[in-house]
Amino acid sequence: MTGLAGARAVVAWVPDFPVLAYGAADGVPVAVVYRDAVVACSASARAAGVRRRMRVRTALTRCPGLRVVERDLAAEIRRFEPVIRRVEETVLPSLEVIRPGLIAAPARGPSRYWGGEQQLQVRLVDAVTELGLPAQVGIAGSTFVAALAARRDMGVIVPAGADAAWLSPYPVGVLGVPRLTELLPQLGIGTVGAFAGLPAGRVAERLGVDGVAAHRIARGEVNRPVTVKAPSEDYAVGREFEPAEARVDPLVFVAVELADELHVRLAGAGVVCARVEAVVERADGRSLTRLFRHEGRLSSRAVAERLRGVLGAWSETGVLDVPGGEPGVHRLVLRPEALAPDAGRQQAFAGERDTPVEVERAAARVQAVLGHRAVARITESGGRGPADRIRLVPVGDLDEGLHRMDAPWLGSLPAPHPATVYPVRRAARLTGPDGTLIGVSGRMELTAEPTSLAIDGRRTAEVTGWAGPWPLLEQWWQQGSARRIARMQVTTDDAHAWLRLVDHSRWWVEAHYG
């Protein structure tokens, strides 16, 4: 299915807003940088060869007279706030802020009110240009395509149901996934249309979560349409201030705590939100709201930083003031909006909740060369044997969580645990005094006293002690998967200890104790 029935999104874009926010003069080459990379640049800087994502050193080499400005996201949000308020008051009563300079809203209702999508486009452009800023507006079936349409030919309206066809000629780099930009052209796939033609199953198998998301965009499918529906009250977090707080810094400090609390609540429920609504209640009872796109990727600090910019703008313009009363904020609330199951991010390598994007991209490049299972992360799991308690999950795959750690696992191997667990168990022979192979009876007794142990790749050693066997019957209720085995521990005269199991009358070595 392409898109959602009737779903349309409108995006308004202020070109080079990070540069304009710093008051750069016309004709002066300016680059706004963050973490030694260019995030925005002026037209004169682009003419000299400066590009987004370029390293600062390279940008200065191409444009020696370049003025470099460190990014201040809170300042950009504060300067963009008048644009948001203007649009809300004159064209769109509700919208969401993707980032400073880029806003989105559902197009269907407003276009009907203003007499069509073309009239909506004109009114949005006029509302922004009246503030002395350039503006371009795109309308399409998804926010992604609408944002791309806003950047083309002074703004384009993509016909309903034509997102995939409209995207088709674009290079795959437009999807914004560096891994695909590097890999797909090597496979002879240079356009979005060619990528969209690949089987979805193959994409999931080879390219992981990010590849699947990009493939859905390429096919014109919408995961989460832009919406302004009421947020979920079940996970909302808030604080009251008595007396009302008029200073921005204490409010931001509380916002960080609220954002942390919100993330914990969502994680505990196994959900992620597409947007976060910040509600500021003034001392006179009136409320001010602002909606930020989240998509499960904003950290607590990022949420608070966006709120800092908005609060700073409202404070400077007197929006928080109460005529004839006490100025300031009486209550601050964060509400998640558009909840969905949290199934898009894997656990990190070192215990953090999420893997850094840079690490994911590096792992993806290695996987593209060596195969999907070449880079994996270790996850703890439940089970009775030592090999069952650790699982290797390829980066990009979701942990199915089939073996719960908190299950009882009666019959599991007690401590001390083996030092080495073999990924593939090794064949072995356990023999008695007469050299015959030892078996295990139905009563779980050895058929003879073990005297020697032979393991593939090692010399035969004399048995000096043993414990067991311990029986284990697993999945007895499922025909074809039932397994009846027995484990035992064996020490040998070469100062080694082994964990062995017998399965269908054959002996194997599972692990080595050192």
Name the percent of the chain lying above pLDDT 90: 11
Bridge-partner residues for 287, per DSSP? 281
pTM: 0.56
Amino acid 52: pLDDT:
85
Cα distances (Å, whole numbers) of residue 88 to 74, 93, 95, 127: 20, 5, 7, 10
Amino acid 360: pLDDT:
60
Give the single-character DSSP code of 446.
Answer: B
pLDDT tens digits along 370-380: 665 677 777 77
pLDDT for residue 347 is more than 60:
no
Per-residue pLDDT band at 478 (split at 50, 70, 90): low
d(CA 331, CA 323): 18
Q: Which of 299, 291, 295 is nearest to 97 (CA)?
A: 291
pLDDT tens digits along 165-204: 999 999 988 887 777 887 888 888 889 899 988 888 778 7
Amino acid 349: pLDDT:
45
Q: What is the 3-state secondary structure (H, E, C) of 10-44?
A: EEEECCCHHHHHCCCCCCCCEEEEECCEEEEECHH
Both tokens of 212, joined, read 């699947």
Q: How many CB atoms lie within 10 A of CB 422?
A: 15
d(CA 236, CA 20): 35
Torsion angle, alpha carbons of 155, 158, 164, 165, to 10: -100
pLDDT, average across residues 407-427:
76
Mean pLDDT of the chain: 79
pLDDT tens digits along 117-153: 999 999 999 999 999 899 999 999 888 899 999 998 8
d(CA 420, CA 270): 34
Per-residue pLDDT band at 368 (split at 50, 70, 90): low
d(CA 92, CA 78): 20
Lowest mean pLDDT among 158-162, 327-331, 428-432: 327-331
